[in-house]
Structure formats: structure tokens, C-alpha cells
């Protein structure tokens, strides 16, 4: 029999676990900070409500209606659209390949935090430490491999006994930890500057790039466009309420993203560091911040545990996409399928992990064109695949499956879908038009 979630709460925590990840803890604070503060946050909210939530509902509905992995879900409704499912399955390989590289760094930093290795407050020294890691192939492969082993061990136990069980422990723990860190941050003298940085309203900063970044962040953060939600939705029972899930999951995700902003930027400002973005913020600036803080050891350990939990509950959802495809479509068994797929993804991931080392030797080893393999995977999945997948999902549910059938599926659990008229218009016209434009723009930028 096909596995399924053992409780509604378990499903919500697992789906929120997929959504809450490095995108919230690592990307959101920086993106908000550098894209006009609350102007970005405001755009994020608008896209979340008009595009993210309607698409999340569409994905969960498609999954539950068909009870199939992402490929089978599209195929069973209309053969001609199987390619959308295939894109999701293929995309999940590349997504996890680079995500696990960062997961490996997180594990390394967790070990360093536990060993009390962040004793210097000098970001230059810590920057050197980070680039040393990026230039140690053996260590990179080892930690990425360890992260993949943990991901595999959970996924091979299945939905209820693996993914759901782990999410039920890790998600509440994650929430408690992030609240502790945010309170510590906000009670530091001078921390208000960080809050201002995050929320200062600067409309002049809104331009096409900011709009694209905010929309991209909605897709990445909600795990939309690649099949995770279709897959997770396929393990739902007919009497589970899809409407409330599509509100609760994005609310948890956004709440954690905002908390992540409050758990990082205030302390960065309080101790006078530069709010640099990307890897720098989490792996260089924050260790310096913890070293400056009373009881910094304790907070650094909590922080990296938190990031590790967030990354792991996301990576398992990425691996579940191809695993469920092979089990459903090729009748393979979960145990060998999970192991073989994890090995293939790891092999794809190693060049990505090795490609960002700043030394020339590694650069020439792993560069396609002028960008390294890590960025190729990242940009291909985040900028191309997720918006394209979201666009095709809206066209599919809006016009191929049809909103009437989707609404019937949503209401089959006994709820009345009061906003069905608005949702139908959004999913049929507004979402595809807007996401389509953004998608074309990102193709154009990629080709330039
Ligand atoms: N939502 C995850 C994050 O914010 O880190 C990333 C992610 C997970 C994207 C699963 C896509 C996905 F299918």
C-alpha cells in the first residue's frame, strides 16, 4: 500500500519543514536588507498572497487528486504534460546537488561551534577560515557526504516513519531555537539599527531586479515549482483540508523568515559588523558576532543546530521527489531506490561543492563558461526551473485539469471554498501572466 501521513499536524510540519530552509535563514535576511528593506518585504507579501498561496493550493490539490508522484500526477491527467513532471524530477537532482554542498558547510560549522572554535571577532580571520574550507576538497566531500547520508537515512524510512517523524521533532525544536536567538539579538544594545535595516521602507529601491528577487524568493522559500508539494500532497487523505494547509504552511514559512531576519541582523549591527550577504553573512559575520556576544558559545551552537535542522527538513523533501517517482512509476523498492539516487546526486554535487573554492586550481577544474558549477546548478534551478514549473503548474491546473475539477477536489473534504472565484481567476490568468513575464525575463537575462 502507498505510504501516507499519519496526521494532519505531521503533514503540516513536514511541508513547513520543506519550506523553511536555507532560503529563510540565509537568503531572506540578506535579500531584504539589500533590496530596499520593507519594500522587499512588502513585495514579498504581495507575491506570497497573489501567487505563492494560490500555487501552493494548486500543487497540493494536484497531488492529492492523483495520489501520484509529480511525474505520474501530470501524466495521469494529460499525457502531453508529463514533461512538466519530468522537469521536476530532473530538477530535484540539481537542486539537492548544490543544496547538500551548503548543508555540508553547515555541518562543518556546527562541529566548529561545538568545539568552541569561534574565538576571534575578526571577520578577516573568519573569512580565511571559510575559504580554507572551500579549498579543502576532502573536507568538503566528507561533510557533504555526511549531510547526504543523514538525508538518505530519513527518506529511506518512508513518509510516516521517516519524513513525518523527523519533522515533528525538528520543526518545534527549530522554532524554539530561533525565538531564543531572536530574543538574544533584540536585547543587545544597538540592535535596533538591524531592525531598521530590515524594515526601513525605501520605495526608491524598487526596480525590476527587486521585483524578480522577491518573486524568486517566494518560489524558492515555499518550495514551489519543482514537485515537492505535489509529491507531499499525494500522501494526503481525502478528508484533509487543503485550504487551511495552504494558509498555514506559508504563514509558518514567512514567520520563520522574518524571525531569521530578527535573529541575525540586529546583532550584526549591535557589534558594528557589515551586513554582507550570501555565504558571508552566515559563515563569516555571524561567527564573529557570536564571538563578541556574552554566552556566545551557547548561542552559536543553538544557531548552527537550527540551520542544520532547517536544511535537513528541506533536503529530505528534495530527495523524496525522485524517490517517489521511481517507486510509483518503476515499481522499485524504497530502500535501494533511495540509496542509489542519493549516490547519483552526491556524484553530481561533488563538482558543485569543489567549484567555489577561490583558488585558481579549483576554478579551472569546475567552471562552465564564466560561472562555476555551483552557480550553474543554483541559477538553473532557482531562476529557470522553479518559475517555469510554477508557470506550467498554473496553466495545467487552470486550463488542463480545469479549476472546476480542482475546486471539486478541494471541497471533497467537506470545506466550502468561499474564495473559489478569486482563486480561479488568479490561477487561470493572473499567476500565469505575471510568472510568465518574470520567467521570460530570467531566460533573457540568462542568455545575455
Ligand atoms: N524551501 C527551501 C528553502 O527555503 O531553503 C528550499 C527548497 C526545498 C526549494 C524544496 C525547493 C524544494 F523543492
- Residue 184 C-alpha to ligand 1 middle, in angstroms? 27
* Cα–Cα–Cα angle for 304, 308, 314, rounded to 5 degrees: 150
Q: What is the number of the ligand 1 atom nearest to the C-alpha of 24?
A: 4
* Cα–Cα–Cα angle for 32, 88, 331, rounded to 5 degrees: 140
Ramachandran region of residue 58, left (φ > 0), alpha (ψ -120 to 50) or beta? alpha
Residues in CB range of 298: below 8 A, 6 or more apart: none
CATH number of 8-447: 1.20.1740
C-alpha 448/C-alpha 444 separation (Å) is 6
C-alpha 437/C-alpha 387 separation (Å) is 10
C-alpha 21/C-alpha 17 separation (Å) is 7
Q: What is the number of the ligand 1 atom nearest to the C-alpha of 253?
A: 4
Output 361 or 161, whichever has higher pLDDT. Answer: 161
pLDDT bin (cut points 50, 70, 90) of residue 213 is confident
Contact 131, 96 (CB under 8 A): no
Mapped onto helix, strand or coil, the DSSP state of residue 322 is helix
Name which residue sits closest to atom 5 of ligand 1, judged by CA: 21
Q: What is the pTM of this model?
A: 0.95
Name which residue sits closest to atom 10 of ligand 1, judged by CA: 223
Q: Express each pLDDT in 101-133 by its tens digit.
A: 999 999 999 999 999 988 888 888 888 889 889
- Residue 18 C-alpha to ligand 1 middle, in angstroms? 6
CA–CA distance from 208 to each of 214, 220, 270, 291 (Å)?
Answer: 10, 18, 32, 38
C-alpha 91/C-alpha 30 separation (Å) is 25
- Residue 360 C-alpha to ligand 1 middle, in angstroms? 31
pLDDT of 364: 53
- Residue 222 C-alpha to ligand 1 middle, in angstroms? 6
- Residue 382 C-alpha to ligand 1 middle, in angstroms? 9
- Residue extents of the structural domains in the chain: 8-447
Q: Express each pLDDT in 121-167 by its tens digit.
A: 888 888 888 988 988 999 999 999 999 999 999 999 999 999 999 99
C-alpha 415/C-alpha 245 separation (Å) is 12
Contact 119, 295 (CB under 8 A): no
Mapped onto helix, strand or coil, the DSSP state of residue 95 is helix
Contact 319, 149 (CB under 8 A): no
Q: Work out the mean pLDDT of the chain and round it to a whole number.
A: 92
- What percentage of the chain exceeds 70 in pLDDT? 96
Q: What is the number of the ligand 1 atom nearest to the C-alpha of 22?
A: 5
- Residue 40 C-alpha to ligand 1 middle, in angstroms? 20
pLDDT of 367: 55
- Residue 416 C-alpha to ligand 1 middle, in angstroms? 30
Contact 99, 314 (CB under 8 A): yes
**Ligand 1, CB within 6 Å, residue ranges:** 18-19, 21-24, 95, 220-221, 223, 226, 228, 314, 317-318
Q: Express each pLDDT in 19-45 by its tens digit.
A: 999 999 988 887 877 777 778 888 999
C-alpha 165/C-alpha 158 separation (Å) is 10
- Residue 223 C-alpha to ligand 1 middle, in angstroms? 4
pLDDT bin (cut points 50, 70, 90) of residue 55 is very high
Q: What is the number of the ligand 1 atom nearest to the C-alpha of 228?
A: 13
Q: Express each pLDDT in 219-265 by its tens digit.
A: 999 999 999 999 999 999 999 999 999 999 999 999 999 999 999 88
Name which residue sits closest to atom 13 of ligand 1, judged by CA: 223
Q: What is the number of the ligand 1 atom nearest to the C-alpha of 229?
A: 13
First to last CA, the chain: 49
Bridge partners for 371 per DSSP: 368
Instruction: Check whether 368 has a pLDDT greater than 70.
Output: no
Of the candidates 93, 130, 270, the one whose C-alpha atom is nearest the C-alpha of residue 195 is 270
ipTM for the whole complex = 0.99
Q: Average pLDDT for residues 361-381, to the nearest whole number?
A: 71
pLDDT bin (cut points 50, 70, 90) of residue 447 is confident
C-alpha 31/C-alpha 27 separation (Å) is 6
Amino acid at each position: 500500500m502507498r505510504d501516507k501521513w499519519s496526521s494532519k499536524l505531521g503533514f503540516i510540519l513536514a511541508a513547513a519543514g520543506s519550506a523553511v530552509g536555507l532560503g529563510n535563514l540565509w537568503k531572506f535576511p540578506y535579500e531584504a536588507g539589500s533590496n530596499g528593506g520593507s519594500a522587499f518585504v512588502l513585495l514579498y507579501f504581495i507575491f506570497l498572497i497573489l501567487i505563492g498561496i494560490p500555487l501552493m493550493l494548486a500543487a497540493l490539490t494536484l497531488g492529492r487528486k492523483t495520489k501520484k508522484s509529480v511525474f505520474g500526477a501530470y501524466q495521469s491527467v494529460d499525457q502531453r504534460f508529463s514533461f512538466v513532471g519530468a522537469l521536476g524530477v530532473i530538477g530535484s537532482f540539481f537542486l539537492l546537488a548544490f543544496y547538500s554542498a551548503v548543508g555540508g558547510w553547515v555541518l562543518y560549522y556546527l562541529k566548529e561551534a561545538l568545539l568552541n572554535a569561534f574565538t576571534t571577532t575578526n571577520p578577516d580571520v573568519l573569512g580565511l577560515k571559510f575559504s580554507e574550507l572551500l579549498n579543502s576538497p576532502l573536507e568538503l566531500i566528507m561533510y557533504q557526504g555526511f549531510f547526504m547520508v543523514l538525508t538518505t537515512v530519513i527518506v529511506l524510512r518512508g513518509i510516516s516513519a521517516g519524513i513525518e517523524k523527523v519533522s515533528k521533532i525538528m520543526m518545534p525544536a527549530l522554532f524554539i531555537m530561533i525565538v531564543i536567538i531572536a530574543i538574544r539579538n533584540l536585547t543587545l544594545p544597538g540592535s535596533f539599527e538591524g531592525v531598521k535595516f530590515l524594515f526601513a521602507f525605501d520605495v526608491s529601491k524598487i526596480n525590476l531586479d527587486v521585483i524578480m528577487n522577491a518573486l524568486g524568493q517566494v518560489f524558492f522559500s515555499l518550495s514551489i515549482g519543482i514537485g515537492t508539494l505535489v509529491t507531499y500532497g499525494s500522501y494526503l487523505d481525502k478528508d484533509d483540508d487543503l485550504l487551511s494547509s495552504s494558509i498555514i504552511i506559508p504563514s509558518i514559512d514567512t514567520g520563520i523568515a522574518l524571525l531569521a531576519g530578527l535573529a541575525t541582523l540586529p546583532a550584526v549591527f549591535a557589534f558594528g559588523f557589515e551586513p554582507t550577504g550570501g555565504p558571508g553573512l552566515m559563515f563569516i559575520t555571524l561567527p564573529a558576532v557570536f564571538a563578541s556576544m556574552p554566552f556566545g558559545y551557547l548561542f552559536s551552537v543553538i544557531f548552527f543546530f537550527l540551520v542544520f535542522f532547517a536544511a535537513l527538513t528541506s533536503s529530505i523533501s528534495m530527495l523524496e521527489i525522485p524517490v517517489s517517482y521511481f517507486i510509483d512509476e518503476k515499481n522499485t523498492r524504497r530502500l535501494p531506490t533511495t540509496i542509489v539516487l542519493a549516490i547519483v546526486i552526491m556524484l553530481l554535487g561533488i563538482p558543485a561543492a569543489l567549484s567555489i573554492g577561490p583558488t585558481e586550481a579549483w576554478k579551472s577544474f569546475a567552471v562552465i563558461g564564466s560561472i562555476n558549477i555551483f552557480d550553474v546548478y543554483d541559477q538553473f534551478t532557482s531562476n529557470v526551473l522553479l518559475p517555469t514549473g510554477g508557470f506550467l503548474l498554473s496553466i495545467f491546473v487552470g486550463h488542463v485539469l480545469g479549476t472546476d475539477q480542482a475546486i471539486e477536489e478541494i471541497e471533497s473534504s467537506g470545506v466550502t471554498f468561499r474564495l473559489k472565484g478569486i482563486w480561479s481567476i488568479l490561477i487561470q490568468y493572473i499567476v500565469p501572466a505575471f510568472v510568465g513575464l518574470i520567467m521570460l525575463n530570467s531566460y533573457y537575462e540568462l542568455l545575455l
